[in-house]
Structure 1
Amino acid sequence: MDVTVHLALDPEADALLGRSPLAALVGMLLDQQIPMEWAFKGPRTIADRLGSDDLDAHGIAAQDPEAFAALLSEKPAVHRYPGSMAQRVQQLCQYLVEHYDGNAELVWKGVTDGRELLRRLQDLPGFGQQKAQIFLALLGKQLGVRPTGWREAAGSYGEPDSFRSVADITGPESLVKVRAHKQEMKAAARAAKTAKAGQTGGKGGGKAGA
């Protein structure tokens, strides 16, 4: 795997993501509750602080948990919640060591069925269905990993030019489109929640001041 990506919008961070399967997985793991480009810059920051030009699953899995959490907490912190994310990164690496000999690429290498690849991704610590589908779409759209049925397995994230997730980010312009889509989704979710709360309040109005 050695491709050009523009997820972190930082040349060195993107270069690592494009050549390191583990870096790509860790970036996807970090991509929650922080800006996308911050998340995908994380693997480069971790590698730098470990004094390496790449991430090593065996090395990270064997790190002292407190020391590794401190490493992610150094300013600028790798994540808004560096302690909990350090634990998740270690759990991911420990899983890869146990099931794939520490080689992240083996999660998808040789897999011929999109549904099987989705299952493998969902088995990874920290990867629920949505995160697994987004990463599957990223693999197919940008990293050249396209087993049969990958678009269908990725759901709406696999649709061409959907600008729904990090899988569609190829530079600053597409980042703006993806961010706008996420804002629309959040606004719709808030509106639905408000409407539901209004209906609930109407039914149980007598208890509101209790």
Structure 2
Amino acid sequence: MPLDASDYSALEGGLVRMLDRLQAEGTATKDPDVDQYLRDDPNAVLLGLLYDQRVLAETAFAGPYKLRQRLGHLDMGRIADMDRDAFAEVFAQSPAVHRFTNKMVDTTQSVARILADEYGGDAARLWADGDCATVEKRVKKLPGFGPQKASKLRYCLYYFGHRDLSEG
């Protein structure tokens, strides 16, 4: 049976709440500016999914928007090259990008380094070609992305308008 990325009934948790709100109210995160940024910047979607652990999904997906506001960019090469302590300071500003600042600073910079070196700094290149299984395999190679998180990417990409990974 083909995967239907528009059917997220098998999911649980905060992402479901966000997608339900998107269907009912037109905003996933409760902030139209954050939602628009997630639609506009593929790196934001990937980092939002990365941050979606042990915090509210809405907070997680707002994290990349906070970073862009504070840094003035979400350039993966520049983030990867930032002094770790300087990046941690930006990350920890109130409200913090994520409650596990130290771990997420390190993971963010590691993901940014891979994106910069292997994908030209553009997360969209992770999913630009290949079927769903291929894309999930690529994403699982990134720090912080296990099988469960990688499997959620198809829904994020679909609902934020980046790519429909439905198979069939």
**TM-score, length basis structure 1:** 0.64
* Alignment correspondent of 1:135: 153
C-alpha distance in 1, partners of 2:166/2:154?
12
- Which residue in 1 is equivalent to 2:59? 38
Question: Is 1:12 aligned to 2:33, yes or no?
Answer: yes
Deviations 1:173-207 (A, max 9, x none): xxxxxxxxxxxxxxxxxxxxxxxxxxxxxxxxxxx
Shift, 1:138, TM fit: 2.1
Per-residue deviation, 1:28: 0.5
Aligned CA-pair RMSD? 1.8
> What letter corresponds to residue 18 of structure 1 in structure 2?
R
Structure 1 residue ranges, 4+ long, deviating more than 6 angstroms after superposition: none
From the superposition, tell whether residues 60 and 144 of structure 1 become closer, same or farther in structure 2 (CA, over 3 Å): closer
2:43 matched to 1:25? Answer: no
Aligned to 1:182: none
Contact (CA 8 Å) 1:27, 1:40: kept in 2 or not?
yes
SS of residue matched to 1:75: coil
2:160 and 2:39 map into 1 onto residues whose CA distance is 9
Aligned residue type for 1:123:
K
Q: 2:69 aligns with which of 31, 36, 48?
A: 48
Q: CA deviation at 1:6?
A: 2.9
Question: Using the alignment, how far apart are the partners of 2:40 and 2:64 within structure 1?
Answer: 12
Report deviation, 1:137: 2.5
The structural deviation recorded for 1:14 is 1.2
Going by fraction, where is helix more abundant, 1 or 2?
1
Gap regions ≥5 residues in structure 2: 1-21
1:77 to 90, 96, 103: 96
Check 1:136–1:148 CA distance in 2 against 1; reply closer, same or farther (3 A cut).
closer
Give a deviation string over 1:34-90, Cα, whole Å, max 9, x none: 0111111111111111023xx111111111111101111111111111121111111
Give the alignment of 1:143-158 within 5 angstroms: 143-147=161-165, 149=167
How many residues are matched?
A: 144
Structure 1: gaps (5+ residues): 151-210
Q: Which has the larger radius of gyration?
A: 1
Give me the identity figure in percent: 35
